[in-house]
A = this chain, B = another copy of it.
Amino acid sequence: MSQRIFEGLKVLDFTNNVAGPGASALLADYGAEVIKIERPVLGDDTRMWVSSVLENFTWYPWLNRGKKSVTISLTDPDGLAIIKKMVADVDVILQAFRPGVMQRFGLDYESVSKISPSVVYCSISAYGQTGPKATKAGYDQMAQAYTGLTDMTGEPDGPPTRVSISIIDHSTGINAFGSICAALYHREKTGEGQHIDTSLVGCAFSMIDPFEEVARGAALGVPIKATRTGRFTSYPGTGTYRGKGNEYCAICVNNDKLWGLLCQALERPDLITDPRSNSVLSRMKNAPLLHNIVADWVASFDDINEALEKLDKFGVPCAKVNSVGDLVTDEYLLARGAITDIPAPTSMQARGVKTIRARGPWHVLSKTPLQMRKPPDLGEHNVEVLTRYGLSADEVVKLQDRWNKSK
């Protein structure tokens, strides 16, 4: 009975960079035919990012695994005419232009839904389709800065620090995927399509609780800004602990039971009942004192792994702070399939590179697992796809020549 979940579903993807492509990559992994519209000549921005330039080609292929690439000039009337045929034919559309751009092309949800009422149309933007900032440009960095994530991260009294990866782009992509799946479920039951408005800032803000932060800061008398990552939300929870060999670990205790286990590991049972540490609230109020006790304990081991083994033995949640450099050969990640090989794009295969080492599936569905398929070269599927929409192969080639020259 099992089949790929979205087998037979057609997706038209106008997005670029990380968030949108991340969402449509999951649709492709689960079997949808995703047709990615790219600019002639240049294609997706990520084709030009450094690893691509260096030919260590990872960003683009991973984010666009399993898709078909079609180059079309949207500003050319012939290009737009083809696109209009395509939007009427697909089940799902993703777009991440600034609000207003799709309207100018007559490709906005209102226009498309008139000819295709069952379409699920997902718009991704920095600040959302409505409101006073709708047309403002923005990337991951802006969402992190705007929502306080940057301000909350970093050393106490140090500068605000960006989370070092495009974590908001990625999580916006996952949000877009989830909301598209929910809308498809609704469509499957009712036949009704709809528009989805999701944004980088909205997704970032959904993961931060400013009301909690403000209430806690006031109750503890500690301004958030001055503490950043050093502020205490539970204890221990936020900091890292340095071992003798300049290696670090993280420890997390968020309830009385785990605190008891930590006290046993530290051989400090007195701290279980000590009024300075016998509740979540008292531990938070006395976090600096407790932090020194734990930090001294970690630093007392010649090898940080000995501290971690002891914590493990008592069931205290802990982990070594790994460097990404160590992870590419990590046995656990390999055993889990979290590191895998995906097929290399056709052009790389022609050079003898058959696979790319990449991140593997992170949700494992027992009957319809996601499958990471081959990423496309730029315009690789022009003829295959565009001949479905009334063009001959010859006409496709001529159009592409014209667009390539005009760039």
Give 6 A-B contacts (CB < 8 Å), ordered by A residue.
A6-B185, A142-B317, A145-B249, A150-B321, A178-B363, A196-B365
Residue A164 at the chain B interface, CB threshold 8 Å: yes
- Other A-B contacts than A17-B254, A175-B178, A198-B362, 20 sampled, CB-CB below 8 A, are A6-B182, A53-B281, A127-B332, A128-B364, A131-B332, A137-B316, A151-B323, A158-B158, A159-B242, A161-B229, A161-B240, A165-B209, A185-B185, A194-B367, A202-B336, A202-B362, A205-B359, A206-B359, A210-B324, A224-B324
Residues on the B chain within 8 Å of A219, using CB: 50, 54, 56
Kindly state the separation between the CA atoms of A188 and B167 in the bound complex, as whole angstroms.
32
What secondary structure prevails in chain A residues at the interface with B?
mixed
* Interface pair B197/A364, CB less than 8 Å apart: yes
Residue A5 at the chain B interface, CB threshold 8 Å: yes
Residue A138 at the chain B interface, CB threshold 8 Å: yes
Q: Which of A62, A140, A185, A223 has the most CB of B within 10 A?
A: A185
Kindly state the separation between the CA atoms of A319 and B133 in the bound complex, as whole angstroms.
11
Q: Which of B150, B159, B202, B317 contacts A141 (CB 8 A)?
A: B317
* Interface pair B205/A333, CB less than 8 Å apart: yes
Nearest 4 pairs between A and B by C-beta? Answer: A178-B178, A56-B215, A181-B181, A148-B324
Residues on the B chain within 8 Å of A338, using CB: 128, 201-202, 205-206
Kindly state the separation between the CA atoms of A3 and B189 in the bound complex, as whole angstroms.
10
Give min CB distance, A407 to chain B, whole Å. Answer: 13
Residue A291 at the chain B interface, CB threshold 8 Å: no
The answer to whether residues A155 and B152 also contact, given A183-B365, A209-B58 and a CB cut-off of 8 A, is no
Kindly state the separation between the CA atoms of A133 and B333 in the bound complex, as whole angstroms.
10
* Interface pair A366/B161, CB less than 8 Å apart: no
Q: Mark A287-324, 1 if CB is under 8 A from B, else 0.
A: 00000000000000000000000001001111111111
Q: Mark A391-405, 1 if CB is under 8 A from B, else 0.
A: 000000000000000
Which residues of A from 186 to 241 have beta carbons under 8 Å from B? 186, 188-192, 194-199, 201-203, 205-217, 219, 223-225, 228-229, 231, 233-234, 237-240
Interface residue tally on A, bucketed by range: 35 or more
* Interface pair A5/B185, CB less than 8 Å apart: yes
Residues on the B chain within 8 Å of A178, using CB: 26, 174-175, 177-178, 181, 363
Q: Which of B155, B163, B190, B214 contacts A167 (CB 8 A)?
A: B163
Residue A94 at the chain B interface, CB threshold 8 Å: no
* Interface pair A186/B5, CB less than 8 Å apart: yes
Q: For A179, give the chain B residue with the smallest CB separation.
A: B363
The answer to whether residues A196 and B366 also contact, given A165-B152, A324-B214, A338-B205 and a CB cut-off of 8 A, is yes
Kindly state the separation between the CA atoms of A333 and B143 in the bound complex, as whole angstroms.
12
Q: Mark A7-32, 1 if CB is under 8 A from B, else 0.
A: 00000000001000000001000100
Residues on the B chain within 8 Å of A184, using CB: 181, 185
Give min CB distance, A111 to chain B, whole Å. Answer: 14
The answer to whether residues A132 and B335 also contact, given A161-B155, A161-B240, A362-B199 and a CB cut-off of 8 A, is yes
* Interface pair A322/B148, CB less than 8 Å apart: yes
Give min CB distance, A336 to chain B, whole Å. Answer: 4
* Interface pair A142/B319, CB less than 8 Å apart: yes
* Interface pair A163/B153, CB less than 8 Å apart: yes
Residues on the B chain within 8 Å of A155, using CB: 154-155, 158-159, 161
